[in-house]
Structures are given as C-alpha cells and as structure tokens.
Structure 1
Amino acid sequence: MESRDLAFGSASARLSVNTRSDSSERADTTALAAVAGGDRESRSAVALRSARYTEIAESWGRGLARVAAHYSRSASEREDLQQEITLAIWRALPSYRGEASLRTFAYRIAHNCAISHLRRRRRTTTVEAAEAVDTAPSAERVLAREAERQRLLHAIAELPLGSRQVLTLHLEGLSYAEIAAVVGITETNVSVRLTRARKTLRERLGAPS
C-alpha cells in the first residue's frame, strides 16, 4: 500500500491519501524506478505532473474543496469526497494534453467525482450524525452567520442536480464556456439552469426577486 501526502486547498490543509489499487501502485512504482534509474523523460514527466498539481492546489484548491462541500451532508462526507477529488486529479494529470484549461480539467474531475459520490450515496441508507455546535453566548454572532451559511448550503444541496452543478461552478468563478465544458452542455443551457437555480433559491430562502 502506498501513502502519498498531497497538499489540497491551501498550504495549511494537507490530505493523507492512501492508494490501494494494485495497478496504480505498479504504475507509480515503475515511474519512480525510472526516475531513480536516470530516465530523463520519466523524470521530466513526474516533474511536470507535480508542477501542474501544485498549480491546481494553489490556484483552485479552496474552490474544489467548496465543490465537495456542496455535494456533502456532513464534515466526514465532505472530507472523503475532497480526498477522492484530490486523488482523481493526481491520477489523471498524466493524461492532460491541454485541450482545455487546467482549471476546467480540474473542475471537470471534481464534477465527475461529485456525481459518482451522489450515485453511491443513493444506494446506501447510512446518514452521518450532525456535528455538535458550540452555543457559547459569546459566539452568538458567529453562530448566526454560520447558521445562514448552512441554510444557504442546504438550499443549494436541495436544488435539482442540473441546477446545482452549474450554480456551484458559477460560484467558483467559472465562465459560462468553462461550465459548459465541465458539465457537457451548451452555454445557453448553462444560462437557463442558472436562472432556474437563482429563482428556486430566492423562493426557498425568502429573498426578494
């Protein structure tokens, strides 16, 4: 079993990723052996993979972590999905050929992981226990803000999947073209879904039109 510590989200946030796939272990072992043996091409490939991963982690890591949060119902579920996204990006980087931007590439992987996560969740009846909340009087204002944030996250999580996908990516600053590339729809459909998502959120949160 291989253990790889990968930075994700910020310099202070690190995930310990355990990979158990025999084929992945063999592939990584082969790459490392090639580097140790002085294979210049393999060394270059590993360096490029690491550089691209670092760029993703530093530039969009926090956003990718928020994507995981939008598709999770608890802290432990969010951490599991975030780790899954991290590992999926690392494993997919050797296949990156520049057909899309690195940001689109990373968010597409996060999107696919989130969809797979939802499908698995539908097949299980396990529900995570809600985390305890500190109710100290001195933290009333902080708790009020957190309650509003949780209310918004819950409302987003209850949106139809198509609307949730485009809204989550839009909140992370992706353009209509990038969202269309990630989700696999037209820019016109992105606009339609965003309009529906905003309308639904206003209705559920009681916000003025």
Structure 2
Amino acid sequence: MTHVGGKGEFDQLLREHAGLLSRIAASYEADRALRDDLLQDMALALWRALPSWRGDAPLRAFVARVAHNRGATHVIGQMRRPVGGELSEDWAESRHGPDGHAELEQRRVHLQDAVRRLPLSLRQAVTLALEGFSHAEIADTLGITANSVGVRLSRAKAALKAVLGDGQ
C-alpha cells in the first residue's frame, strides 16, 4: 500500500498495526485508561502524518516512528510517571498452564515496568528491538545511526539487567 486515502484503508492500516501500536503505547503508559487515550492520540497523529509518507521506508517503520514520537510527547506532558500497571491480556499466551501463565505474566509485568522506567531514547530502541526491528530499521525509524542503536541497546540491556537481575 503506497497511499492510504480513505477511512476504510486507514481502518485496515490500524488493524494491521494494532499489536505494534498497543505495545508501543504500553511502553509509555501503565494506566489502562491513559494508554487507551494515548492509542487514540497515536491514531490521530498517524492519520495526520500519512500524507507525508512517500513509501521510501517501510510503512511499519513509519507507523512506529509516528507512534514513538507521540509516546514521547505523552511522557513529556505527564506530571507523574507510572510505577506499575497491568499488561493487556493480548500479551498472554494460551499454551501455558495456570502456573506457567502466572509466572510468564509476572515476568512480562516486570519487564514492561522496567522498560517504562528507561530514559526515552533507550526505551524507544528497546521497544522496537522487541518488535523485531533490525538495527538498521531502528536507526531509520528513530533518525539515528545504526552504531547509536547498538549503543542504546547495550545501555538499555545493562540497565534492564540491573533492575531485573540475570534470572528474568
């Protein structure tokens, strides 16, 4: 899709990238109601930004960049930083039994809280890496060099390891 012109096409784009947008929003906001508001803000920002997308980068990277920019604006505008919260149920995997599911969910909550506490520059790089973006794609999305991505991910990994410990 090189151009998203109508509401139906935009709705399709939002459906195709719903998971990505939800996870990016969750990396910026713990409170479910505020996260829902952030998702709406991301969708509006994406609608406004789409005319500037020329197809020279993957649409997925463009969506992630817009979402991260809106998330950063959201964090900067908040007077308080959330210290905890639950992850949406769509992060859960059904193949685990009750005990395994509880342990997995606890680890995800700890990881999400730890990622949320990272400085914005590290948080953005980690969130994209967890989405499977390559260093080059992260660099393009964030407007930095691939070497800077490596540095940010290394720093983020050290910070997360310190918070979570080696066992997480």
Identify whether the pair has TM-score above 0.5, normalized to the shorter chain.
Answer: yes
- SS of residue paired to 1:185: coil
Report 1:64-143 matches (<5 A).
64-121=21-78, 124-125=79-80, 142-143=101-102
Query: What number of residue pairs does the alignment pair up?
Result: 155
TM-score (structure 2 length as normaliser): 0.79
TM-score (structure 1 length as normaliser): 0.65
Residue identity (%)? 39
Q: Distance in 2 between matches of 1:188 and 1:150?
A: 30
Q: Distance in 2 between matches of 1:191 and 1:126?
A: 26
Q: 1:198 aligns with which of 151, 157, 163?
A: 157
Residue pair 1:155, 1:201 contacting (<8 A) in 2 also: yes
Task: Name the residue aligned to 1:189.
Answer: 148
Residue pair 1:53, 1:90 contacting (<8 A) in 2 also: no
Q: Distance in 1 between matches of 2:21 and 2:68?
A: 9
Aligned Cα root-mean-square deviation (Å)? 2.8
**Larger strand percent:** 1
Deviation at 1:71, TM superposition (A): 0.4
Q: Distance in 1 between matches of 2:54 and 2:116?
A: 33
Q: Distance in 2 between matches of 1:95 and 1:155?
A: 34
Structure 1: runs of 5 or more not aligned: 1-43, 132-138
Q: Distance in 1 between matches of 2:147 and 2:84?
A: 40
* CA gap 1:206/1:53 in 2 versus in 1, 3 angstroms: same
Which amino acid in 2 is paired with 1:198?
K
Deviation at 1:130, TM superposition (A): 6.1
Structure number with greater Rg is 1
Structure 2: runs of 5 or more not aligned: 87-97
